Chain A
Amino acid sequence: DTEVTQTPKHLVMGMTNKKSLKCEQHMGHRAMYWYKQKAKKPPELMFVYSYEKLSINESVPSRFSPECPNSSLLNLHLHALQPEDSALYLCASSQEWEGPYNSPLHFGNGTRLTVT
């Protein structure tokens, strides 16, 4: 069982809908990440939160809005998405005290998003 929990597992939404993806970890990790993954491709970094502050935004369109309510929770709010946004959205976490660069990522199983 993964230690990073993502809900929902599957989501179908129309282009005018507003929905949210949720991620939770209880490993005491202080860095949390959102990745987008298309089929047969590597994960693409979207956002990083470090100690609950947004530290990296990879020029993601504003229709994706991240939120980190506390050190265990990470949300991704979705609004007015396009069909090309259909993908697997992965949440990950890592420790910070070892140094972010050598602490491995722990991934959830993702949310499979389909935009119709």
Chain B
Amino acid sequence: AQSVTQLGSHVSVSEGALVLLRCNYSSSVPPYLFWYVQYPNQGLQLLLKYTTGATLVKGINGFEAEFKKSETSFHLTKPSAHMSDAAEYFCAVSSSNTGNQFYFGTGTSLTVIP
């Protein structure tokens, strides 16, 4: 079975500070990992994905995430927060034995303080 845990349902950072959103996964087979962002009154937008290959993945809007198998983690980071980064962030996992099933974490709401 696959699952995702996002530590911290709310994260606040100052504008210009480092953004760190945590995601830990559980998977009995090699996982495929995704981060999505959701702005108010919109759908989810893909930030980045890890399938195979390089463990440091770069995404849109300056975000990146590192797949760490030993820690079963896929934390999302951005060096310098911008006001426009305020949104809800979801981590998701799938695998070769889940077909079209994607398992989402409970989400982290990011607030950026001016």
Contacts and interface: CB of A to CB of B under 8 A. Distances in A.
Q: Do chains A and B interact in one complex?
A: yes
A33 B100 CA distance: 9
B59 to A, nearest CB: 11
Given A33-B100, A48-B100, A41 B106 contact: yes
A43 interface: yes
Given A4-B43, A109-B41, A104 B34 contact: yes
A110 to B, nearest CB: 5
A68 to B, nearest CB: 13
Nearest to B45: A107
Interface residues of B, number: 26
A56 B90 CA distance: 22
A90 B51 contact: no
Interface stretch (A14-22, A59-67, A72-80, A95-103): A95-103
A100 B99 contact: yes
Contacts of B101: 45, 56, 101
9 contacts: A4-B43, A33-B100, A40-B88, A43-B90, A90-B44, A101-B99, A104-B46, A105-B36, A107-B44
